[in-house]
Structure 1
Amino acid sequence: MSQPEHGHNPQPGGQPGWGNQPQWGNQPQWGSQPQWGNQPQWGNPPAWAAPQGGSPNGPGQPAPGWPPGPPYGQPLYVAPPKPGIIPLRPLQFGEILDGSFQTIRRNAASMFGSALIVQALGAVFIGIVTVGMFQLSMSFDSVSSEAEFNEAMGPFLAIMASTLGVSVLIGFLGSVLQGVLVVPVARSVLNRRTGFKQMWKLAARRIWPLLGVAVLLTLGGLLAAAAVVGIAVLLFSAMGPGALLIVLPLGLGSVVAFVWIGLKLMLAPAAIVVEGKGVYDGLLRSWQLTRNNWWRIFGMTLVVAIMVGIIAQIVQIPASLAAGAIGQVVTPHPDAESIAATLVVTTVISSAIGALVGSVTFAFQASVSALIYMDLRMRRDGLDVELMRLMETGADPDGVPGSPATQPANPWTPPQNPAWPPNGGQFPSAPPGQQPPA
């Protein structure tokens, strides 16, 4: 059989010759277009053939042209809606970070303002303690006897205890504020802005459980730390320097246990505010939500803490350099009075900058914790479906999304309406005189 010319289409049903090449079905010749049904030739516009058994415009048949639907018969992907700061589906870490930044930007007055109040209060206490410590340290220069030293140590220990008390107070207020800041985060998921007054009004309903869980967590942490320190002191008293072999592993183990329990209970304020839980139920709810997700939460929390620490240090370094420059300019020949005055000025400046930076970082960390809570609820409880329903219906526009007040009624529960069924107790589909079986 002679080989057909280049570009010549073979006859339908025939096989072109190609040397001694074996025949594979109806394989076309090189340079020609294979005929698969009514597939168009190269260079010609596509013309999809009409389905068999009906006209192109027949009922139930697609119109001629490009076929509808996704290619190759695969299901069409529809992205989940994103009405607010996050898409309504389980979240990735980048989406949590982006949602946290957007929440602060959209609700700056409520989130940044509340965090600034707490941080400013803590900065004032820290400034007072710092100035007091400096004055006491200056008084030690004039100590010349053991009695005077013991007399000066009393106020020194009192200021040290005050420093510890300020730290505990800031931690306590931070735990309460973390629950309060869940309100604007949850509302931002549905693109609902929250003002300062509205946020505290919604959170005031759960303020007593928030205070209770904050007290419980704070006292628990203090008692655990006191127990570890007491055991270490007893071991050193009984064993001397050799107790270090026991105290060091004990200290590392206590830190690991503290971090593990802290992450397991970190979502309790959010559960109390959003779901209306009590103190015990809120702690139990946080423990259940973090089950099988501890390492994921630990990784996200660690990365956020590192980011926040780096940003805070970057901002604080210029402030420290500026404070030192002010001291060199104002008091080139320092004495006791000028040093004290310079210390007061630099402390005020450093405290103000620290309060501003701390308010931003705290609001960001609280937003991350709240979005982790929303993510876990979408993974475990199907919260994304409930949020879609709220988005479509617009129900409870002044509430907190995800709270029990926004949960739909059980669809299998018969309606509590005395006029149901209609038509005198007969269903519309039932013939006259008949009623559905009980």
Structure 2
Amino acid sequence: MSQPEHGQQPPAGAQPGWGAQPGWGAQPQWGGTPVWPTPPVSPPAHQPAAGQQPWPAQPPTGWPQPGMPPGQPPYGQPLYVAPPKPGIIPLRPLQFGEILDGAFQTIRRNAAAMVGSALIVQAISQTLLGAVSLGLLQAVDSLDTVESRAELDGLLGPFIGMMAGALGITMLMAFLGSVLQGVLVVPVSRSVLNRRTGFKAMWKLAAPRIWPLLGVAALLTFAALLAMAAVAGIAVVLLMNLGPAAFALVIPLWLGAFVLYLWIAIKLMFAPAAIVVERVGIYQGLLRSWQLTKNSWWRIFGITIVVNLLVGVIGYVVQIPVQLASGAVGSVVSPHPDFASMSSALLVTTIISTVVSTLVGSITFAFQTSVSALIYMDLRMRREGLDVELMRLMESGADPDGIPGAPRGRSAGWPSA
């Protein structure tokens, strides 16, 4: 069909030919639709046989499929499944915030077992310390009646004895703390699989491991006391022989001894937990803790320092209202105090402070122990795949009354070692 000339209108009813374009300036007929050329379509790579349905076109890899609900992975990529969290922590290596949250949840779920046991130990320790404090207060009070050197020398012996008693009570607290650290790992391990533990059940599960716990606690306490005595003896010898110039050696000696003690304490802090959970002996527990902390010392040290600072700040904040209230009561009762009234007010303040310290100390000790137990579980997840074993226990429901994390095939009795 011929095309209209430039500037001419096509005849009425005439349509441009197939694929033909209207000339420059020409308009198509009213109601007519111009047909634009279409690009050639390449044939599909696969032609279905007769009677078969054609294959649906697949989108390229990495793009979501049509009709896929939101949140689904792109085509060709695996679906991410978050690790299960049956209890206080997810069954995977832990982060710092998850350790703190798990410790709080453990105390909330097992308050009777954890806080109750810590309260007993704290009550014993604080009662003994309170008795020593009252003895020192009476010794200071009796200084007003001293009139001769002989009477002063007579008071010096009891004073030194009470100082030694305070040191002994401190070591006793460290000993009982090591034992209780191993016992409290039982409710923490069971809470990982959402298994609650009562006071009686906790001590029943920990009872077969009491003797190894007492042994490792005595060993650690005696080693710390021996190291302190050795460093103090060396410092005294240097001061007696060199005089004031010995401080140039004593101060670096104390700093070096403190750093060495801190390093060894972190390396051996999980021995009680290993003795209870893995049912090993004293030597094996110490060796186990040493191996678990390999290449993780700084991380454990950082978490421990932050937790101790947090606990210290909480204890200090709680003690401030007690001190203010004690001072206000003392000023109201005796606005013009003498030595006797000051001693009575100090006695009342000491008793109130001891009670509050016992309550706060039991909670903070349970929290610190929970953090230590969760670090122990985290180290085993990172190094040994303990999370896989815990998933197996969760799915099978095996050993519901035991301690999760114990090695397979080992009885609940004493270890062969």
TM-score class, shorter: 0.7 to 0.9
- Unaligned 5+ residue runs, structure 1? 15-25, 27-36, 38-50, 57-63, 409-438
Equivalent residue number for residue 431 of structure 1: none
Equivalent residue number for residue 374 of structure 1: 377
1:155 to 158, 177, 188: 158
Is it true that 1:359 corresponds to 2:349 in the alignment? no
Larger Rg over CA atoms? 2
Change (3 A) 1:55 1:235: closer
Cα deviation for residue 52 of structure 1 reads: 8.4
2:247 to 244, 249, 252: 244
Change (3 A) 1:386 1:136: same
Cα deviation for residue 405 of structure 1 reads: 5.1
Offset from partner CA, 1:95-145 (integer Å, 9 cap, x none): 100000000000010011111111111111111111111110111122222
2:39 to 9, 12, 23: 12
2:207 to 195, 204, 208: 204
Determine the C-alpha separation between the residues in 2 that align with 1:232 and 1:293.
33
User: After superposition, where does 1:50-89 map in structure 2 within 5 Å?
Assistant: 54=55, 66=67, 70-89=73-92
Equivalent residue number for residue 258 of structure 1: 261
Change (3 A) 1:284 1:11: same
- Unaligned 5+ residue runs, structure 2? 1-20, 25-34, 46-51, 58-64, 412-417
Spell out structure 1 runs of 4+ moving beyond 6 A.
none
Residues 250-259 or 68-77, more deviating? 68-77
Q: Find the residue that maps to 1:73 and give its secondary structure.
A: coil
User: After superposition, where does 1:22-101 map in structure 2 within 5 Å?
Assistant: 54=55, 66=67, 70-101=73-104
Determine the C-alpha separation between the residues in 2 that align with 1:272 and 1:399.
15
Equivalent residue number for residue 231 of structure 1: 234
Matched-pair contact (CA < 8 Å) for 1:176–1:211: yes
Change (3 A) 1:322 1:71: same
Cα deviation for residue 11 of structure 1 reads: 1.9
Count of residues in correspondence between the two structures: 364
Is it true that 1:330 corresponds to 2:336 in the alignment? no
Equivalent residue number for residue 297 of structure 1: 300
1:273 to 271, 276, 282: 276
Offset from partner CA, 1:45-90 (integer Å, 9 cap, x none): xxxxxx986579xxxxxxx953596204222111000000000001
Equivalent residue number for residue 172 of structure 1: 175
Offset from partner CA, 1:235-281 (integer Å, 9 cap, x none): 00000000111111111000100100000000000000000011110
Equivalent residue number for residue 312 of structure 2: 309
Matched-pair contact (CA < 8 Å) for 1:386–1:407: no
User: Which residue identity lines up with residue 166 of structure 2 in the other structure?
Assistant: T
Equivalent residue number for residue 284 of structure 1: 287
Change (3 A) 1:353 1:9: farther
Q: Find the residue that maps to 2:204 and give its secondary structure.
A: helix
Residues 324-333 or 221-230, more deviating? 324-333
Is it true that 1:318 corresponds to 2:321 in the alignment? yes
Cα deviation for residue 309 of structure 1 reads: 0.6
1:140 to 131, 143, 149: 143
What TM-score do you get using the length of structure 1 for normalisation?
A: 0.79
What TM-score do you get using the length of structure 2 for normalisation?
A: 0.83
User: Which residue identity lines up with residue 380 of structure 1 in the other structure?
Assistant: R
Determine the C-alpha separation between the residues in 2 that align with 1:176 and 1:9.
89
Equivalent residue number for residue 33 of structure 1: none
Cα deviation for residue 330 of structure 1 reads: 2.2
Q: Find the residue that maps to 1:404 and give its secondary structure.
A: coil
Matched-pair contact (CA < 8 Å) for 1:330–1:342: no
Equivalent residue number for residue 118 of structure 1: 121
